[in-house]
Amino acid sequence: MNYKAYIAKKLNVSVDLIETPPNPDMGDFALPCFKLAKEFRKAPPMIAQELADKLQNEGSDPLFSEVQVAGGYLNFFLDKSRVAEEVLGEVKAKGESFGTSDEGAGKKVLVEFSSPNIAKPFHIGHLVSTAVGSSIERIYKALGYDTVKINHIGDWGTQFGKLISAYKRWGKPEDIKKDPINELLKIYVKFHEEAEKDPSLEEEGREYFRLLEEGDDEITSLWQFFVQESLKEFNRMYNMLGISFDSYAGESFYTDKMPAIVKDLQDKNILEESDGAQVVRFEDENIPPCIIIKSNGTTIYATRDIAAAVYRKEHYDFHKNIYVVGTPQALHFKQVFGTLEKMGHSWASDCVHVGFGYVRFPDKSMSTRHGDVIFLEDVLNEAVAKTKDIIKDSPTCKIIDDIDEVSRKIGVGAVLFAFLKNGRERDIIFTWKDMLDFEGESGPYAQYSYARGRSILRKADASDISYENADFGLLTSKDEYALIKVINRYGDVIREAAEKYEPCVVTRYIIELAQHFNKFYNNCNIMKTEGELQKARLALVDAACSCLKTALNLIGVDVVEQM
């Protein structure tokens, strides 16, 4: 239940004014009356007292055990038994759909994420967009939106002219077929090394791309080979992460749609010539011109993004069109969205750029161009191997039925959690110590908390203890009530994460939920408790596990039953 909204309605004030006190001894919720002082033309303590008197005159409300005036604050203490009954009753009724809603019903949300470049390896940097985008899609889906996952593959552009030039110069067909991605990367790096000595190679690369745009048979055949082999590599990574897509329409998909965009821009007198290129200017907005056609007559990725947005609106009629792309591309998207506005598309405001930071290592940096690449597959495999070693050294190792599967879920989950732990625009500092810390604020800690709860429930089942008809109203101790209040916030957490496009809202909630669960577990001896209280506590364990499982799923992390 949304108790904030209930209190706000009772007081006839905005729900935004209702706060959660920093100390539970000060109440479950509070109304600071300072912001009302100007409206009521009274001192905050007087306003608080008058509101308290008003509530008292209306008659006692069974939800409140006490309403207290403290200076300029009106503090509300909820009836613990009633809250426990309402919250856990709702969890029991809704199961794993608890916290979700249908507020997005009938609205389509597109999420473009991952979008690696063809003929380049899936490196650790790609995981940021992949993890953030997948989580945002899951969050919106939990709110009832009809979501579409789009992988806008980078399969077009001047870089393919460069790659074709490199292939013709140094590529060996037998080597490419044996190990396509690594060999293509090798010759791509070599191209840039040689181009620094001989700048004419850059022009040769541009010419090959021009031939590709014109549909040259030989060049197109080479390009198709690069695309097919790369997709095989990418899909192996997505399978490891448990991620799928609804559309793989990449940049090349929009090549036949760009002439109509250019014509529309020309017809509306939006295009201007600049040093031989065709651009859209934004003098009033203080944004650099958006290049639509380069001086050599070829298109640029901004042209393709404009064509893609128009196609998506016509094809999907989206409510939101979300681009999960690195923060350095913020200017690019301002130009694209600004161009769409100049074209008269009012829905341009429904296009959202969700940026993110870099992955940083204490002593390494990443650049495909220079060959210093950390492959995602290597990172995931190492995470799984390190997790397996940790589990083998654990005293609970013997109870695990499938150590390989458990290690895979925990290892991959640890990486995903670490990448989503903090605000997406912050850089990620990659360290194994923090990522695989089973006691810190990490994925393994959250997964362990779930497995711990499930272990208790298995023991109860083995002892034929049923908690089906538990009396939730018995759960009024400090630790029980604190855990119940955290569980109750889950729906608000999902909505906040969607509003902010921030998976870290979910990860922080997961840690808070796990911490409160473990405190309850340690302070309330569940299996040694007897009678109805034991059943109620088991029901609370079940509710916490259910909430942990679904919250972890929102960030793409699988739970494990044993650990």
- Report the catalytic residues: 120, 123, 126
Provide the β-strand partners of residue 291.
279
* Distance from C-alpha of 122 to C-alpha of 236, rounded to nearest angstrom: 10
Distances, alpha carbon 99 to alpha carbons 88, 398, 514, 554, in Å = 12, 36, 17, 12
Tokens of 115: 């979008």
Coil, helix or strand for 405?
helix
Asked if residue 430 lies in contact with residue 124, where contact means CB atoms within 8 angstroms, the answer is yes
Chain length of the chain:
563
Residue holding tokens 């509306």?
268
Q: What phi, psi does 286 have (nearest 5°)? A: 60, 40
Other residues' Cβ atoms within 10 Å of the Cβ of residue 490: 24
Sign of CA dihedral 394, 399, 404, 406: negative
Q: Maximum Cα–Cα distance for the chain, whole Å?
A: 89
Q: How far is CA 264 from the centre of its chain?
A: 35
* Distance from C-alpha of 560 to C-alpha of 540, rounded to nearest angstrom: 19
Query: Where does 132-237 show beta strands of DSSP type E?
Result: 146-150
Tokens of 287: 């944004």
Non-local (6+) Cβ contacts of 110 within 8 A are 147, 148, 150, 312, 316, 318, 320, 321, 322
